[in-house]
A = this chain, B = another copy of it.
Amino acid sequence: MPKQTFLNLPEEKRQAIVNAAVDEFAEHGFKSASINRIVANSGISKGSFYQYFEDKMDVFKYLVDVLTKEKMDFFKGKHPPSNKLDTFDYFRWLVKVGMEFNSAYPQMTQAVSRVLLVEGLYYGEYFAEYQKLTTDTIESMIKQAMKRGEVDPSVDVELAVMVMDTWTNAITTYILKEGMKQKDIVKWVRSAKTQEKIDKLLYVMEYGLRKTESQFVKS
């Protein structure tokens, strides 16, 4: 974690450093992120950086903390449209609010998810703790869904978690990749077209690609 010196800094200066770090990780990922560039872009000296942080990992972990805090605040202001949604509908609501958040903090989300979801695949040990947070949430949801008899009985917990985790990541990646091309990402995420895309992806997750008696219904 950052040293006290950093936390004592005036808000403005701290923000400049966070912004520079976010941009650096978003553009280069963790391994190729350069402390030299972070320092140059935030207008502080090299020496100061090392008075604020231990190393690159230290500043990255701080960013994750900031993002986590922002996300919790964001979710605090949101409530599901009904308190008797089934688990899949609740998951859908979670995903949509999550994407709304991502569009509100696209650069920071990009930085963190690029490192955790993508580079994390290859440096598992370092970032595993963060990934576990997501899978644990999903796991408890899927267990609830199973208790309620909402899940295909031939599907076990591990498999269901993998499916939902895969789709959470795929949708996040899609929203960031396509959203970054838009001039107004918030508006784009809220647009009927994008919302329907998410709805349809989750519909396929729930009902599959094959033709059966089920049918997608616009919400």
Contact = CB atoms under 8 A, between A and B. Distances in A.
A180 to B, nearest CB: 11
- Nearest first, the 9 closest Cβ-Cβ pairs linking A and B are A154-B216, A208-B208, A207-B208, A206-B210, A166-B170, A206-B208, A152-B211, A163-B204, A159-B200
Identical copies in the complex: 2
Interface size class of A (residues with CB under 8 A): 35 or more
Contacts of A155: 200, 204, 209, 216
Contact of A162 (B114, B159, B163, B201): B201
Interface of A: 29, 31-32, 88, 114, 118, 121-122, 149-155, 159-160, 162-164, 166-167, 170, 173-174, 177, 197, 200-201, 203-212, 214-216
A74 to B, nearest CB: 25
Nearest to A146: B211
